[in-house]
Amino acid sequence: MHTFYIKFARWIVIVVALLTTVDLRAQVVVNEPTPDNEFTIDAKLNTRGEIRVGGYDDANGEGQEGRAHFIMGQYRINLGYKRSDWLEIQLSPQFSGVWGQAGGTLSLSEGWLSMKHNKTGLFTKIGRQSLEYDDERILGYDDWIMTAPTHDAIKLGFEGYGHKVHVLLAYNQNADNISTGLSYYSDGIQPYKTMQTLWYHYNTPKNLFGISLLGMNIGVQSKIDEKPNKIFFQQLFGTYLTLNPSIVNLEGSFYYQMGREEHGIKLNAFMGSAKATVTPNNIYNLYTGYDYLSGENFPVTVNGGLGLIYHKEARAFTPLFGSHHDFYGAMEFFYFDNYVHNFSPGLQNLYVGGNVSPVPGLTINASYHFYAIAADLRFHQEKLNKALGHDIDLSVAYSFANFVKLSAGYTYMRGTETMKILQNITDKRRLHWGWLMLTVTPTFFTTTWNDKKKA
């Protein structure tokens, strides 16, 4: 028995010594000063194949169910540098294009410098950068379209005590107009010449309630032949609200557009949205919502063609620079240039869906959409039915590792006679779309170092 106590005491001493050593090492790690400098090289390799059947006329314009199979890729390198906690620089060259395409697009996706003052909360960010605000309906980083549009802009702001204030300033110009004029057309990364934006956001403690206010002034180049150098200015004002009581998340937004569009026509458009999400646990959630985007009223002629009429006001709401793929259905079939003659009757989008994650790394999504136009149309002197069709979206994503994800999706849509007339699609009005995507985001190299201290 005496020998047992001696051995037991020895084990206690060894365990205490090990725990003390681990604790001292932890203290050393915790107390190590933050490195003065950090440099990282990582990448994003995104490859997606798509199959589309139906929805467009064939090459002869005979309304057959056309097919399209293609693969596209996005390949980006990110070079990031951080200096203590006040300076950050990023450069992101990128190539994107369809497999087999001659050329593709080689560009600088992002290239910016950011400086901040931690004590005051003031910061500035200068250069080509992504702009992501609120639910990204108006200003977002739409990486789905592979080119992921960014902005050449200056961002100034303050963040602290639950408040955020950002000021965005942008001015675009064509290189060949340095000495010959002031014109800027949409061959650049964004279709505007000048932009000024003010964004304010406040969150209550624990994010129970949040409110954002957004104001934008956008100058677009005139498309009137007699006034090629004129700039027309349009304004957008709106708000985005969130409420998070318990397991329920509520979102709502409203935006109004005014001013003049690129043809000098007065703008008078608006949109509203509401969404409710219930998340009982970490395994699944359910959501439902409704979007309303105002549109034009224009007649339909007797033979089914769209009437060309002059509008004193442009009533079609434009969601500007948002992440459009996240709204209005995965097929993205309701952008305003999809309609004949580029008219837009607006959109109503009523949807319900849910997400489930049965095992770690796996996410399954399913949603249903009912679409309708917002404007009143007439056909044979009778009002045209506003319904556009029904849409079912299915998608699945699985992360094999923290930097490798495989995802796939399928969408089926059944269009109405109204959709056939407004978008000139196939007589059968059935649309199928499937895709498979591999996303790899490896980190190749990371190093940190401290500046040499003066003696």
Q: For position 342, which CATH number holds?
A: 2.40.160.100
Q: Which residue has the higher pLDDT, 128 or 52?
A: 128
Helix (H, G, I), strand (E, B) or coil at 13: helix
Query: What was the pLDDT predicted at 104?
Result: 83
- 256: exposed, middle or buried (Cβ count in 10 Å: 0-12, 13-18, 19+): middle
pLDDT tops 70 at residue 438: yes
Contact 285, 355 (CB under 8 A): yes
Do 373 and 242 sit in the same domain of this protein? yes
Query: What was the pLDDT predicted at 420?
Result: 80
Expressed as residue numbers, the domain containing 55 is 33-449
Do 162 and 25 sit in the same domain of this protein? no
Task: Classify residue 31 as left (phi > 0), alpha (psi -120 to 50) or beta.
Answer: alpha
d(CA 436, CA 103): 23
Split at pLDDT 50, 70, 90, the class of 19 is very low
Residues 400-423 pLDDT 10s: 888 999 999 999 999 888 888 777
Beta bridge partners of 194: 171, 219
Q: Which residue has the higher pLDDT, 62 or 211?
A: 211
Query: What was the pLDDT predicted at 30?
Result: 47
Do 22 and 124 sit in the same domain of this protein? no
Query: Does some domain include residue 134?
Result: yes
Q: What is the mean pLDDT of residues 162-180?
A: 83
Q: How many domains does the chain have?
A: 2
pLDDT tops 90 at residue 237: yes
Q: What is the mean pLDDT of residues 278-306?
A: 82
Do 2 and 131 sit in the same domain of this protein? no
Query: Does some domain include residue 455?
Result: no
Handedness of CA 32, 33, 39, 42 (dihedral sign): positive
Least confident of 20-24, 70-74, 421-425: 20-24
Do 50 and 190 sit in the same domain of this protein? yes
Q: Which residue has the higher pLDDT, 3 or 133?
A: 133
Query: What was the pLDDT predicted at 179?
Result: 58
Split at pLDDT 50, 70, 90, the class of 91 is very high
Which pairing describes strands 266-278 and 313-314: parallel, antiparallel, or unpaired?
A: parallel
Query: Does some domain include residue 104?
Result: yes
Query: What was the pLDDT predicted at 312?
Result: 78
Query: What was the pLDDT predicted at 405?
Result: 97
Do 129 and 26 sit in the same domain of this protein? no
Query: Does some domain include residue 11?
Result: yes
pLDDT tops 70 at residue 66: no
Query: Does some domain include residue 311?
Result: yes
